[in-house]
Chain A
Amino acid sequence: MTSRHADQVGGGAHARFTALVHEHQRGLFAHVRVLYPHADADTVVNETFTAAWQRIDDIATDGAATWLRATARNIVQNSRRGERRWQALNDKVARLAPVALSPSPDHDAGIELQIVMDALASLSVSDREVLLMTALDDLSSEDLGEILGVRANAAKVRVSRARARLRAAVADRTEPPDQGGTR
């Protein structure tokens, strides 16, 4: 939808922006909380929508969710650059927060989840990011590439490799160490 058409059907930039906030605020907040638990999600969301207001005429309706996630990611990354002294602490919090937010699964599922989250925490920040991003939203390679600032093919490869590393890390934690090792 073009901005001019949006103005005609939505009553202008303000109406379009209002609809954008109502449609995407909660999803974006959850996205930021899951992806960047060390960041203040309210601040990131507020700044993201402020940027959206400034660019409201340039945001395509069908690509708004992707645009917002890419902008939120940039805001988080920019804020990180000024907070190096907190980096080590934040990394520890980032690893723990997803588990701490667990909605009390049953025992077996809880053990599985614990293993997966432990394996996830052992991966690189880059792997964790794409795994959480694709787990949270059904993103196409094109959308993921736009958020990450890479080509779609590169995004697809990154996801594939990250998933392989997660499965391998889980296998390391579940398979007996001397399996098939009898002589």
Chain B
Amino acid sequence: MTDPIDVLRSHVQSVALLERPHTDPADLVAAITGAGAPDIANRSTGADRSNVVALRCSISTAGGWFQKLECELATAESHFPHIGNAISA
């Protein structure tokens, strides 16, 4: 059998290649720095680095937390129905 470390490395790096953030980098920069994001710029001036921006980022994505968890559960259950049933139980 192939060295488990090599198997793990190959798999994890393959998975990582499929992962893409849902936020465009330019939008992320604008949301955090306030530059180019009208809704945030109205609340903060220029390059304000206050925690308000962090809080706003958290709030804007927090709604997706449970939905994402449900999606992951659904995906896992499709691969392992018996385990999925155990989780549901």
Contacts and interface: CB of A to CB of B under 8 A. Distances in A.
Interface of A: 13-14, 17-18, 21-22, 25-27, 29-31, 33-34, 37-38, 40-43, 45-47, 49-51, 53-54, 89-90, 92-93, 96-103, 105, 109, 112-113, 115-117, 119-120, 131-132, 135-136, 163, 166-167, 170, 174
Contacts of B21: 25-26, 29, 41-42, 45
B76 A96 contact: yes
Given A13-B47, A43-B62, A170 B1 contact: yes
A40 B64 contact: yes
Contact of B61 (A29, A40, A89, A116): A40
Given A21-B25, A47-B54, A102 B15 contact: yes
A135 B12 contact: yes
A136 B49 contact: no
Contacts of A119: 4
Nearest to B49: A54
Nearest to B16: A30
Contact of A98 (B3, B11, B17, B47): B11
B2 A42 contact: no
Contacts of B16: 27, 30-31, 33-34, 136
A164 B65 CA distance: 35
Contact of A166 (B5, B13, B64): B5
B75 A40 contact: no
B7 to A, nearest CB: 5
Q: Which 3 A-B pairs have the closest CB atoms?
A: A30-B16, A96-B76, A29-B21
Contact of A30 (B19, B53, B62): B19
Nearest to A90: B69
A46 B25 contact: no
B12 A49 contact: no
B1 A174 contact: yes
B4 A116 contact: yes
B14 interface: yes
Nearest to B5: A163
12 contacts: A22-B25, A34-B16, A34-B19, A45-B28, A46-B61, A96-B72, A98-B11, A103-B15, A132-B12, A135-B12, A136-B9, A136-B12
